[in-house]
A = this chain, B = another copy of it.
Amino acid sequence: MAISVETFFLNPQFQGTLQSQIQQMIAEGILSGRFRRGERLPSTRKLASHLGISRITVTLAYTELLANDYLDSRGRSGYYVSENAPVPPNFSPPQRGEDKVDWSRAIGRRFTGGDTPEKPQNWASFRYPFIYGQTDPTLFDHANWRLCALQALGQKDFTALTTDYYDQDDPRLVEFIARNTLPRRGIIARPEEILITLGAQNALWLAAQVLLTQRRMAAIEDPCYHALRDILTQSRCHLAPLPVDRDGLQPESIPPQTDVIFTTPSHQCPTTATMPMMRRHALLERARELDALIVEDDYEFEMSFLDAPSPALKSLDTDGRVIYVGSFSKSVFPGLRLGYLVGSESFIREARALRASVLRHPPGHIQRTAAYFLSLGHYDALIRRIREALRKRRAVMQDAIDQHGLKIAGQGAHGGSSFWMQAPKGIDTERLAAQLHHKGVLIEPGRQFFNGSGRPREFYRLAYSSIPVERIPEGVALIAGALK
């Protein structure tokens, strides 16, 4: 690669000759790791003309650098960073001015320090990754995704790929969701009632911003998805965490002052409980009583392999009070960052304006790729394949869990991709996780899902979405061993 002449600027405050300034610029570039071995420097003519100085000054500087073995000359083809040039220790920068800003004062709002735990980036290198929410490369339909992406990259789709949509979405993706995805959940929606988001996370965030203020109250499930609690904490609304039972959220426990209820009826996160139809009706009734809204995170409904999925809460909603959150990130792959919000037009309009302000719109190319992947039927085929694999893994895992006498704390009626587990009293699953980490086993401690101060420490989550079926028995045995 050639080093661009534009990386060179003269510093009017430089103490020294022009020649030494040029030498130093180049040497600093090499030392700081910006210029690398084998990269070609601008010609002396080019650099001199760019800086507006005489060519001989540049030639002298280059000659000096040659002598110091920073540079290497290959006759007529020019100057290169020498193969013997020093290599910086892992890209440490040159001396810079000291940071003189008092950041503790300058930062108006803090967003660090939430409940969402740090997760290992290198999870794929673990032998027993009982990790939740990542993609299993053996299940993903890589070839067809690639074909769809190629199609979306074609000349015909140029506009979809490159245009600034302002606040709009890809109409083809929206149409597919309206015509095919939502009807499977029993939901009828017009395009104006749908907003594409950057994953379910973004959908939940948008809903919270539009609906909540410091004077409003949100009811959440306890335990619940930690990132949701971070979102709500940042919105500074009042929070009512409501303990869930084996059927999920208990409608009668919702406090009368509640404005918005956040719930995961398909698969309660993390306990995997599926809310029975009776309770769904009771929940809607309770919301009507309180004139509250419901944000339904229709979490993992695609992973219903033990039983047919129930229609979404939103499909039973005749008042327009349910806001529905769907996602393709879980079922296609999480790096896709594609989800959607469904709700009344008045709500979607505000969420769309907010999204436009925050990020305009999800990238056009990924929207179009997803539209092809969905409409060509690859999505359904992928879901079927994932369900089949998860069904098998779940059976193997259930056997292993039974065999070792481990305790399941929750169990989704319709499948899912994880078990919610309970360790014997007195066991801190964060320590357990650290211990298992050394043995190549990744588990997820449960404390972070709970609310408040006295969070129980004995729960943990074991997902089987990314672990090969044949490693499950061994992995569970290692967990059982560590628990003893």
Q: Which residues of A does B touch, CB under 8 Å?
A: 1-2, 4, 6-7, 9, 29, 32-34, 36, 50, 91-94, 96-103, 106-114, 116, 118-119, 121, 124, 133-135, 137, 140, 142, 145-146, 149-150, 153, 155, 158-166, 168, 175, 178-180, 183-184, 186, 188-191, 198-199, 201-202, 205, 209-213, 216, 227, 230-231, 234, 259, 288, 291, 293, 308-309, 311, 315, 317-321, 329, 333-338, 344, 346-347, 349-351, 353-354, 356-366, 375, 377, 380
Contact = CB atoms under 8 A, between A and B. Distances in A.
A335 B163 CA distance: 5
A214 B362 CA distance: 29
Contacts of A180: 4, 7, 34
A426 B112 CA distance: 52
A357 B111 contact: yes
A166 B119 contact: yes
B158 A142 contact: yes
B188 A9 contact: no
A96 B158 contact: no
B100 A321 contact: yes
9 smallest CB-CB distances across A and B, nearest first, come from A97-B318, A164-B334, A99-B320, A103-B346, A162-B333, A335-B364, A111-B353, A100-B319, A111-B354
Nearest to A237: B108
A360 B201 contact: yes
A107 B210 contact: yes
Contacts of A149: 149, 153, 365
A318 B100 CA distance: 8
B99 A319 contact: yes
Question: Which of A91, A110, A353 has the most chain B CB atoms inside 10 A of its CB?
Answer: A353
Contact of A145 (B153, B166, B319): B153
A353 B114 contact: yes
Contact of A205 (B183, B335, B344, B359): B359
Given A96-B318, A142-B158, A150-B150, A33 B179 contact: yes
B93 A190 contact: yes
A331 to B, nearest CB: 12
B358 A101 contact: no
Contacts of A308: 6, 50
A339 to B, nearest CB: 10
Contact of A114 (B103, B108, B357): B357
Given A180-B4, A205-B358, A359-B337, A191 B91 contact: yes
A284 B160 CA distance: 41
Contact of A317 (B4, B97, B354): B97
Contacts of A198: 198, 359-360, 363
Contacts of A1: 375, 377
Given A34-B180, A149-B149, A162-B336, 17 more contacts: A9-B186, A9-B311, A33-B179, A50-B308, A108-B211, A109-B213, A110-B350, A110-B353, A124-B159, A142-B158, A146-B153, A162-B335, A198-B363, A201-B359, A202-B360, A337-B361, A363-B366
Contacts of A119: 166
A326 to B, nearest CB: 14
A322 B60 CA distance: 36
16 contacts: A2-B377, A9-B315, A92-B190, A93-B188, A101-B293, A107-B211, A107-B350, A108-B211, A109-B350, A111-B354, A140-B158, A145-B153, A164-B334, A234-B357, A358-B359, A363-B366
A283 B415 CA distance: 61
Contact of A344 (B50, B103, B134): B103
A45 B201 CA distance: 39
A363 B335 contact: yes
Contacts of A199: 359-360
A161 B357 contact: no
A168 B121 contact: yes
A24 to B, nearest CB: 13
B358 A166 contact: no
